[in-house]
Amino acid sequence: MITASDNVWQVAHGRSLKLDGDGLIMAIVNATPDSFSDGGRYLAADLAIAHALDCVTKGAHIIDIGGESTRPGAAGVSEQEEQDRVLPIIERLSGVTDALISVDTYRASTARLAVEAGAHIVNDVFGLQKDAAMANVVAETGAGVCIMHTGREREKLPDVIADQFAFLNTSLDIADKAGISRSAIILDPGFGFAKDTDENVLLMSRFDELSRFGLPILAGTSRKRFIGALTGRDGAEDRDIGTAATTAILRIAGAIVFRVHNVEMTRDALAVADAVLRQKKNKGDGRL
């Protein structure tokens, strides 16, 4: 196992991100026609880039570019179609912002080309377990990697935390064998990916148990169906307040990066949660 540097996320092109301060925001930019929240809105490169830059202005530290919807039942796309959607955006965006750029893909070929185009991070929703070449691409390019847990295409364990450790430890073994440094890795428990409302709430309530991995954790709850079920909000864009509530809860529980649609609301939620965490640290008594 290649060990991590304390509180620093090492990513491609010699960049890094400090993880020992306030919560960080990863803004979602879907260059897709069918994503559940903003499908079709940023399919054109000019619109995607404008939206990404607006997110940076509002406080995003990372821009996550995706070319294939991961919503349940979404139609798959070919490698070429995915690459035609994301690569021009990444290449142009890398020339106009210092924000880190992430590519949301489970395909090794897309990941390699995206890093060559300027991306710093690979966000793999199958946790290096879908494409056997992905881990080697991450290692060879020096990219940072988000390793996400999923319950799709597999049999889950009945206990939500036990399943997290079973799946993600397999992913970490793959990463170790490929030579990926632990300082390049952040974990994502995969809210909403083959998890029902009760499982998502239970995962939130036990989120602090994921600290046993000893790695930074990303939370991606934004506008998910379970938030709609809890709040009675049917429309995806009506779930931002519920998302902000999960952001505050999960920041207190230990998450450091938040993948979201609404950057401004997340920024405000983190401002409150981070103030509480600083107070706890300063007092040193562990009480809220």
d(CA 228, CA 249): 17
Which residues lie below 8 Å from residue 191, measured CB to CB, with a gap of 6+? Answer: 200, 203, 204, 219, 220, 221, 224, 226
d(CA 164, CA 19): 22
Say whether 224 is catalytic.
yes
- Amino acid at the residue 230: L
Say whether 225 is catalytic.
no
d(CA 117, CA 108): 14
Give the residue among 121, 89, 73 at the shortest CA–CA distance from 225. 73
Catalytic residue among 112, 195, 224, 239: 224
What's the token pair of residue 149?
């847990």
Residues paired with residue 148 on neighbouring β-strands, in sequence order = 188
DSSP-based helix, strand, coil % in the chain, nearest 5? 45, 15, 40
In 146-214, which ranges are continuous DSSP H helix?
160-178, 197-205
13 burial level (CB within 10 Å; 0-12, 13-18, 19+): middle
Catalytic residue among 85, 225, 251, 259: 259
Give the residue among 115, 119, 82, 123 at the shortest CA–CA distance from 101. 119
d(CA 162, CA 157): 7
**Which residues are part of the catalytic machinery?**
224, 259
